[in-house]
Amino acid sequence: MTKTITIAHGNGGTENNELITKIFYKHFENDILAKSEDAAVIEDGKLAFTTDSFTVSPLFFPGGDIGKLAVCGTCNDLAMMGAKPKYMTCSVIIEEGFSTRELEKIVKSMKTELEINDAIVVSGDTKVVPKGAVDKLFINTTGIGTIEHKGITASGLKEGMSILVSRDLGCHGATIFAAREGIELESGLKTDCASLYPQIKALMDADINIVALRDATRGGVSAVLNEWAKTSDVCVEVEEEKIPVIDEVRGICEMLGFEAVDLANEGTFVLCVNKEDEAKALEVLQQTHKTSAIIATVTQQHVGKVLLNSSWGTKRFLDLPTGELLPRIC
Amino acid sequence: MAELELKNLYDDFRDGDTLRAYAKIIAKDAAKLDRTINIMEVCGGHTHSIMKFGLPQMMPKNINFIHGPGCPVCIMPKERIDHAYVLSLQPDVILVTLGDMIKVPGSSGSLQDTRAKGADVRFVYSPLECIKIADKNPSKTVIFFAIGFETTTPMTAVLVDQIIKLDIENVLFHINHVTVPEVMRELIDSRDEHVDSYNNKIDAFIGPSHVSVITGAKIYDEFPRDYDRPVVVSGFEPVDVMQGISMIVKQFVENRCELEIQYKRVVTNEGNKSAQKLIDTYFDKVDLFRWRGLGSVPESGLKLKNEFIKYDAESVYKSVLPITEIEDHRLCICGDILRGTAKPPECTIFGTACKPSTPIGSCMVSSEGACAAYYKYGNLI
């Protein structure tokens, strides 16, 4: 571990894992935490429980704002455990001088998103801190949901299973990057930020056996696939040309030297199902997003690794993203 | 001519059938040769493409890649990074640089570390953003830590030009621009101090793409003429690189040794003359620039001309900047990798002590370095 914490420790990739395991897991160690799922499963598998903090800058961005993100993020973590989001808490830390009108706008968009999930905020807290102590506004939400589909786990992947993504990748990461100070690219991009419970419910209603499920937030789809490959002791073989990426995102990636699979999403999930369920699952997903696709198969080729096959027959590893995402120089 | 869209680049120039067709042509021609051809791609952008698209897997046994020194972040010696580190910690300074320079560790840490300590370190995509930053922060000094080959030098020159013309007083420069032909010459024509020989295995060069857009292909005239090394200036996309390689192999089959341009859609022989003029207006060559992994290379770097010294952070902050040169780690073999006498996995610390998260040698530093590309895309394949 380095002596001080850097931005890289919050990237959802290698450094982030190191920070969590070497400091937090070391001291908080218990069986539930050790599972390291999106949400903890408690009370004999009846409830899912999770928390998340939101510090995004800028607070308002094309397609959403920090409030929408704060509800989606936590509800999605619950949905990823096959749970129906029910009750939430909401804590805000506000920098002195912040506009009341903007605050209300943020709270209103939280309300809209709560309605989509049919969840309610039942407790909360506010703190106001001196100028400079936080960047405008930070939000923490915690959520509880009732588990409707048991047995979803990152360690359940077996040879022959299929992996799908729920839509085209990287919209959120590309949007935030394009809007950043110092980049300021003009684009028609919007974040993919959305509540995922309705789609998960549709999969369950169609009687699909969900093996593994994860929303591809920080670290993107690469982080999810790498984690699954490691925890399940399998190889995930991705067909590169099947990865859905829209032109705008691809353009930004080409310009800045990123890969869409490494970019953060806020309304995109990765799903692993048995081979016989893949067609039905794709049909359900495509009712929400036409761009959803079957992108990978579980094999035993290089256990613990994600392999990317190009359309011209070459192979390479798709590694966990490391460090802060920074544009290439030339 | 039909208009070329960005989409064409990643569809047409990455077309599987075209790539396979070039692989066949290369294999057929290479079979006519009774020797191995070692091709150096000078530019880090090419190294990245070659590894990302798995092109070595498509080559016949007697065509070999040598990964060159063309990654501006990788070759930055630690003492220059220490300058950035110290400058960023000066009171009322905003240090601005490009992309992944922020990650590179000097002897006491990286700019990421000083940022964690509270320094105001920012990265920009265009150096002209410095004008906005300076305008928003009139009480601060903005120092642009300029890096890169001929590709990025014009952008720095434009910024210098604007700062002077708009009479902006709170922007200074720390110049670390380096030049391609000088280091190519050094690689084939210099004595390797470590092994005391003129050893290198380079038979031909893939010329950098975007450097050549600025300088023109003419800067490589000397290599086929004086050093017997063919040069083909190629684009970055996999189809470009495969076509460039097939052109090089063809030269060996037909016993030619020439400078050719594959990347004709943007590269000319003369280059961008107004950019060249702007560079000449503001910059002089330095006598020596120390390259991480290679040592000092004559006239391979640039500095602000003496008449613009008041904009030079190296002069303004002279009293606080360290001057000791820092040697490369003794186990690191980046110098051999850059000369083509070794491959990254042959290094004893590759992937163990030296990793992208904790780079020891220059080639592991940026994603465009040879070791980093091997580590990321295929250390096991």
Q: Establish whether this prediction's ipTM goes over 0.90.
A: no
The rounded distance, in Å, linking the Cα atoms of A262 and A253 is 10
B380 touches chain A (CB under 8 A): yes
Task: Taking residues B321-345, report their average pLDDT.
Answer: 86
Answer yes or no: is pLDDT of A123 > 90. yes
Q: What are the residue ranges spanned by the domains of chain B?
A: 36-71+182-270+332-378, 78-178+301-320
Answer yes or no: is pLDDT of B2 > 70. no
Answer yes or no: is pLDDT of B5 > 80. no
| Chain B residue with Cα closest to A180 | B124
**Segment 278-307 of chain A within 8 Å of chain B by CB:** 302, 305
| Alpha-carbon distance values, A106 to A101, A222, B81 (Å) | 9, 31, 42
B137 touches chain A (CB under 8 A): no
Cα atoms in the 13 Å half-sphere on the side-chain side of A276: 2
Answer yes or no: is pLDDT of A68 > 80. yes
Predicted pLDDT at B260: 97
| Chain A residue with Cα closest to B376 | A319
Give the tens place of pLDDT for each residue, B162-199.
Answer: 999 999 999 999 999 999 999 999 988 866 555 555 56
Predicted pLDDT at A328: 62
pLDDT > 70 fraction of chain B, expressed in percent and rounded: 94
Residue B376: band (very low, low, confident or very high) from pLDDT cuts 50, 70, 90: confident
Predicted pLDDT at A6: 80
In angstroms, the separation between the Cα of residue A14 and the nearest Cα of chain B is: 9
Task: Taking residues B105-110, report their average pLDDT.
Answer: 87
Predicted pLDDT at A11: 67
- Per DSSP (E only), the strands in chain B are 37-43, 63-70, 93-98, 120-124, 141-148, 171-177, 204-207, 231-233, 259-261, 283-285, 288-291, 295-298, 302-304
Residue B329: band (very low, low, confident or very high) from pLDDT cuts 50, 70, 90: confident
| Alpha-carbon distance values, B96 to A135, A270, B144, B331, B341 (Å) | 21, 37, 5, 32, 37
Predicted pLDDT at B326: 87
CATH number for B36-71+182-270+332-378 (one of 3.50.50.60, 3.40.50.720, 3.10.200.10, 3.40.50.11750): it is: 3.40.50.11750
Rg over CA atoms, chain B: 21
Answer yes or no: is pLDDT of B340 > 80. no
pLDDT > 90 fraction of chain A, expressed in percent and rounded: 73
Interface test with B, best of A309, A312, A315, A319 (most B CBs within 10 A): A312
The rounded distance, in Å, linking the Cα atoms of B48 and B65 is 12
Query: Which residue among B10, B48, B151 sits closest to A254, beta carbon to beta carbon?
Result: B10
Residue A316 DSSP class: E
Sorted by where each starts, the structural domains of chain A and their CATH numbers stand as 35-147 (3.30.1330.10), 162-317 (3.90.650.10)
Answer yes or no: is pLDDT of A37 > 90. no
Architecture of domain B78-178+301-320: 3-Layer(aba) Sandwich (3.40)
Residue A253: band (very low, low, confident or very high) from pLDDT cuts 50, 70, 90: confident
Predicted pLDDT at A320: 78
| Chain A residue with Cα closest to B118 | A6
Chain A positions touching B149 (Cβ under 8 A) are 330
Per-residue exposure over B9-41, b if at least 16 CB sit within 10 Å of its own CB, e if not: bbeebbbeebbeebbeebbebbeeeeeebbbbb
Contacts of A301 (CB under 8 A, 6+ apart): A235, A237, A307
Contacts of A13 (CB under 8 A, 6+ apart): A218, A219, A223, A320, A321, A322, A323
Predicted pLDDT at A143: 97
Predicted pLDDT at B12: 82
Predicted pLDDT at A63: 87
Residue A238: band (very low, low, confident or very high) from pLDDT cuts 50, 70, 90: very high
The rounded distance, in Å, linking the Cα atoms of A34 and A111 is 33
